[in-house]
Amino acid sequence: MKHYDYQDRFKELYDKSVQRFRAGETDASKWFDEDEQAFIAANGWRLQDFFDYAEDNVGPGEPSYEIAQSIEQVRRDYFLHMQNGVPSANKLSPDELPPKPAALDGIEWLPRIIAKAKGKITGELCDDIMYSCGGDRKFLKTHDIHPAEFLRVVWANMENDQGIIDFVKKRSSAVPA
């Protein structure tokens, strides 16, 4: 696998996904040839990620390509440098996520998005879970946090939820009412 231009190839696959979804093709398993699927897997990504980005791009119009790419860059970095290119056998199912209204230190959605972010970073989200879905985007916008920035904060605090809470509270306090 070539590493220098992986972002260019990611963009090609992202654009292809949006075009296919816009054309009414909703089976992501048919969107990519064998070489493209191997490239996706070699970077720690999922076909489902491309489907989710395409669906949300065509629907609500976000996340943008730039946000999707920055999210997947964090995943790729963790996969290649922390997991040594070996995918996790664990999968987080939707019923293992904290409920949507659950709060941590008074901040609704925070327990849920922390669990999703950890699953995204480690490649343990099942296909029914999307990091940076509409609910996540609302949370991140409310607290003025970029989706990839949140992943990096979670990565730096994988065993320290208080560090994540402190970051969110600090960022939230700077957001004008």
How many other C-beta atoms are found inside a 10 Å radius of the C-beta of residue 109?
Answer: 22
SS3 per residue for the chain: CCCCCHHHHHHHHHHHHHHHHHCCCCCHHHCCCHHHHHHHHHCCCCHHHHHHHHHHHHCCCCCCHHHHHHHHHHHHHHHHHCCCCCCCCCCECHHHCCCCCCEECCEECHHHHHHHHHHHHHCCECCCCCCCCHHHHHHHHHCCCCHHHHHHHHHHCCCCHHHHHHHHHHHHHCCCC
Phi, psi (deg, nearest 5) at residue 33: -80, 180
pLDDT in tens, 36-84: 999 999 999 999 999 999 999 998 889 999 999 999 999 999 999 999 9
173, pLDDT greater than 90: no
Q: Which residue has the tokens 């943008």?
A: 64
Q: Which residues contact 68 (CB under 8 A, 6 or more apart)?
A: 14, 49, 53, 57, 132
Residue 177 predicted with pLDDT over 70? no
Q: What is the mean pLDDT of residues 10-19?
A: 97
Q: What is the mean pLDDT of residues 156-160?
A: 97
- Which pLDDT score, from 0 to 100, does residue 161 have? 97
Q: How confident is the model at residue 96 (pLDDT cuts 50, 70, 90)?
A: very high
**The predicted structure's pLDDT at residue 71:** 98
125-156 confidence digits (pLDDT tens): 999 999 999 999 999 999 999 999 999 999 99
What pLDDT is stored for residue 2 in this prediction?
82
What's residue 60's pLDDT? 87
pLDDT tens string 103-112 = 999 999 999 9
pTM of the model: 0.95
Which residue, 133, 72, 77, is CA-closest to 100? Answer: 133
